[in-house]
Amino acid sequence: MEAPVCLIENNPNEKLQVNPEALEILQNIQQPVVVVAIVGLYRTGKSYLMNKLAGKMKGFSLGATIQANTMGIWMWCLPHPRMSDHTLVLLDTEGLGDVEKSNTQNDAWIFALSILLSSTFVYNSMGTIDQYALEKLQYVTELTKHIKVKASPKKTSEEDESDFLRFFPVFIWAVRDFSLQLKLNGRRITEDEYLENALKRKPDSPETLDLAKKCVRQYFPSRKCFVFDRPAGTRDLEDLEDLPESKLCPDFLEQSNKFCQYIYNNAQPKIIQGGHRVTGKSLGHLVQTYVDAIASGTIPCIENAVTVLAQIENTAAVQDAITCYEAAIKQRVQLPTETVNEVLEAHGQCEKEALKSFMARAFKDDNHEYQKNLANQMQSKLQELISHNEQVSLDRCQAVLMDLFQVVEEKISNGSYSVPGGYQMFLEDQKEKLQHYELAPKKGLMAAKALQDFLKSREMTVQSILKADQILTDKQKEIEVEKIWAEASKREAELHEKMRIEAEERAEQEKQSYEEHRNQLMEKMEADRRRLLTENEAVLNTKLEEQRRVQEEGFHREYSRLQGEIQNLRSQISEQASSPCVIL
């Protein structure tokens, strides 16, 4: 992308709208995305940081040119400078809090969408993190009205809210034109300590202020702070993009670089439930689902969006696995094969690979519906392949037989065998042809069956040659007929035995296929269980830390509320830890 495009338009007095052009760009990104969103009042130099992240001087507009631009969320997709095979998606919000142009209702949605879509969320503000800055964070305090975690209506918003931290991005506070010294009680402190200190709660502070602190701490357990000096003498932040770097204050440049390096090295790919990485394409689906929800007057729900995404992704995962299976089996098997087992073994290998590719991509396949679908499809592919293999072999065998016996046929028609001793001549000819048949290459697994059918179809002819042969006595003829029958039934018995073995091999294959599906499913479920357990333990630690803090700060009611959440979490964890997956 040469320049950013508007992703979600926020026009005054209109519903939010997704820009199809931007969706198309996302549609074509198959790589996982690292999504960095920046939010804050207009004319605070947000775009400078975003352009800097993009490695460009210009791109996202700055305050000065805002009038020319559509408001809403702007997007810029770039190759990630550090992580190969990843795309860096930068989201800049335009016009937030611009009283003249935007409507506050939509602004709240834009704020919520930036959180829902990003994996790193940068909040940009001016001056210091003081009461004013915190109170400007009103949108954070209203997030329960704009984001739902669970689809089930039973969940209270408080229950829902306690899960925000599982889904929310890393929070970075970028403080611009910071003019204070990073000191607390005469001691030098880090930027992060500065932020944590600003988020300290006091029982007697104004309610709105306290709520903002509480929400930031509760929703965003991963927090980071960067402070920036004034970029250049007296110049406004608005003109930043027109200044060459040499005119910018060195401290500011260094701080900007530090910020960018941090994002490049630390900002994580966007993930959803089950650690599943979001690709550009699926990010597009998320955008659409969330904006549709808002347009239809409902609150965007993370669980619903993930369900929608899972359906799309799992369908694609099945399709891709089938394509992978077909390509692999084509490479492994040359039709016709000599045994059915060759096909079964190749199928086993290819199914395993295809299943792996499916498992790597599928998620939230709760009733294993997609996996079952894949299993059925692969089984019918196998059936098709087996039938095709038989047909190819049959065709080839028939062609070989026709070719070999052409002369014999001619001799039958022109009466060459209708002479005394003709039957013996016939037998010798036939024997020779059958030896040739035996040696003919690439007949495949139907060689015996094709021969049996061929000989059967000629029984009457052979018997009439025998009958017509005047050199043989009736007794001899009887013995010959017996011989013909005996040979035919011997071949028949061999064919039966062959089919019995093949049926056993098929049964064995089905058993193995089932085992393979089961094993890979168990592995995935076990990995999911461990991931959830680790996540729950991390959440528990965060809540314990927050509980310690509120106790210290003297918020006793909250201490008890957290105690309840912590107990719930502990029992969930012990349940998960003691019950490995079982598939019934």
CB of 377 or CB of 416, closer to ligand NAG: 416
Residue with tokens 């509120």: 550
- Smallest gap from residue 433 Cβ to ligand NAG (A): 13
CB of 134 or CB of 412, closer to ligand NAG: 412
Cβ 125 vs Cβ 176: under 8 Å: yes
- Smallest gap from residue 435 Cβ to ligand NAG (A): 19
Q: Please give the full DSSP string across 296-358, using - where no structure is assigned.
A: TTS--BHHHHHHHHHHHHHHHHHHHHHHHHHHHHHHH--SSPSSHHHHHHHHHHHHHHHHHHH
- Smallest gap from residue 410 Cβ to ligand NAG (A): 4
Number of CB atoms found within 10 A of residue 277's CB:
18
Nearest C-alpha neighbor of 304 from the set 316, 293, 314:
293
CB of 168 or CB of 417, closer to ligand NAG: 417
Asked whether position 296 contacts ligand NAG by CB under 6 A, the answer is no
Instruction: Give the CA-trace dihedral at 296, 300, 302, 306, to 10 degrees.
Output: 30
Cβ 251 vs Cβ 223: under 8 Å: no
CB of 123 or CB of 405, closer to ligand NAG: 405
- Smallest gap from residue 411 Cβ to ligand NAG (A): 5
Task: Report the amino acid identity of residue 172.
Answer: I
Per-residue contact string for residues 338-367; x = within reach of ligand NAG by CB under 6 A: ------------------------------
Phi, psi (rounded to 5 degrees) for 121: -120, 120
Nearest C-alpha neighbor of 355 from the set 312, 321, 331, 311:
321
CB of 379 or CB of 430, closer to ligand NAG: 430
Residues 121-180 contacting ligand NAG, CB under 6 A: none
Residues 367-426 contacting ligand NAG, CB under 6 A: 407, 410-411, 414, 416
- Smallest gap from residue 422 Cβ to ligand NAG (A): 12
Residues 513-552 contacting ligand NAG, CB under 6 A: none
Copy the structure tokens of residue 479. Answer: 């013995």
Asked whether position 276 contacts ligand NAG by CB under 6 A, the answer is no
Helices (H), 440-473: 447-457, 459-468
Rounded to whole angstroms, what are the CA distances from 522 to 359, 370, 519, 530, 531? 11, 15, 5, 12, 14
Which residue is at the shortest CB distance from ligand NAG?
414
- Smallest gap from residue 415 Cβ to ligand NAG (A): 7
- Smallest gap from residue 469 Cβ to ligand NAG (A): 17
Task: Report the amino acid identity of residue 420.
Answer: P
CB of 219 or CB of 405, closer to ligand NAG: 405
CB of 411 or CB of 543, closer to ligand NAG: 411
CB of 173 or CB of 423, closer to ligand NAG: 423
Cβ 454 vs Cβ 398: under 8 Å: yes
Which residues of the chain form contacts with ligand NAG (CB under 6 A)? 407, 410-411, 414, 416
